[in-house]
Amino acid sequence: MSTQATSLAEKMVFRKTHQKVGRNLFVTPANSTNRHLSYARIILNQTTPSVSFDNGSRETGLICLSGSAVLSVAGASFSFGQYDSIYIPRDSRIDITTTASVDFAEFSCDVEGRYPLQFVAYAEISKDPKLKFSTGKPGQSRHLNICLGNNVQAGRLLAGFTISEPGNWTSWPPHEHAKMLEEMYVYINMPAPAYGLQLVYKDTDYPELVVPVREGDAVLMPAGYHPNVAVPGHNIAFLWAMGAHREKEDRQFGVVNIQPDFNQGGSGLEASRK
């Protein structure tokens, strides 16, 4: 690998973020290619059953990946199960407690405005065809879940998760949205030996970044097309989070530019915009 490619990967690829207990901050604008978006993982158990923190000038989104917990913020308490999520405004004190274990993904963005606190139950997402839908032709079939999208008010942050059919491509056809949004993927629900390949590129002939991805890995997409693919017999599954460059104005899901050679049947994201 060239020195340039190595330097790029160091700021775009973060490995095994699911292995540390407590609240651990992995990606920030200071250590990555991101301008706005940060990512932390909060893993609590009986040895570390609680955590408290302030989010300062950053709006915050949390998605519960497994387990259960109670989160308290602004005098209100919320009980979480798998895939429940919450949007928390800036300048908030956040307390999380579990009686067993819990795993949260935390995404945040710097914002000027303060937007409403909102809990999003996954049971409600599952009822909304704009927030939970399947898309893609054979070889690219996947299931999308929009946790923090048009259903919440926010300044920059969008987040959700995608699960492919075994051996399929996702984020297909290849698309990009760099003028409006930066993005990152965090891989979940991919127990060994499952893995996938993630591409991020502007050069459509010879992609600049092609990396294997496994459970807990994170890959950033500051610009360029970013499809990925699962190995045969296994799913590829990932959280996706986006940070809008212009607060509020650029916070739009599904507005993408498709790679011209593959622009033959839409982006597959149309259901989110109906």
pLDDT grade for 9, boundaries at 50, 70 and 90:
confident
Torsion angles phi and psi, residue 251, rounded to 5: -80, 80
Across the range 189-215, mean pLDDT stands at 97
Above 70 in pLDDT, residue 2? Answer: no
Across the range 74-79, mean pLDDT stands at 96
Across the range 234-255, mean pLDDT stands at 97
Rounded Cα distance between 144 and 83, Å, is: 12
Tokens (6 digits) for 31 = 């250590």
What is the CATH number assigned to the segment(s) 3-254?
2.60.120.10
Count other C-beta atoms under 10 Å from residue 53's C-beta.
16
Q: Angle at CA 14, nearest 5°, toward 12 and 15?
A: 145
C-alpha to C-alpha distances, 266 to 137, 160, 177, nearest whole angstrom = 11, 21, 15
The predicted model scores a pTM of 0.95
Rounded Cα distance between 264 and 251, Å, is: 26
Tokens (6 digits) for 65 = 């990946």
3-class SS of residue 55: coil
Instruction: Give the model's pLDDT for residue 263.
Output: 86
Amino acid at 180: M
Rounded Cα distance between 175 and 204, Å, is: 11
Residue with tokens 């992609």: 207
Instruction: Give the model's pLDDT for residue 266.
Output: 81
pLDDT grade for 274, boundaries at 50, 70 and 90:
low
Instruction: Give the model's pLDDT for residue 270.
Output: 82
Q: In the chain, what is the greatest distance between 2 CA atoms, to the nearest angstrom?
A: 54
Average pLDDT, the chain: 95
User: Cα 129 vs. chain centroid, distance in angstroms?
Assistant: 20
Rounded Cα distance between 11 and 28, Å, is: 10
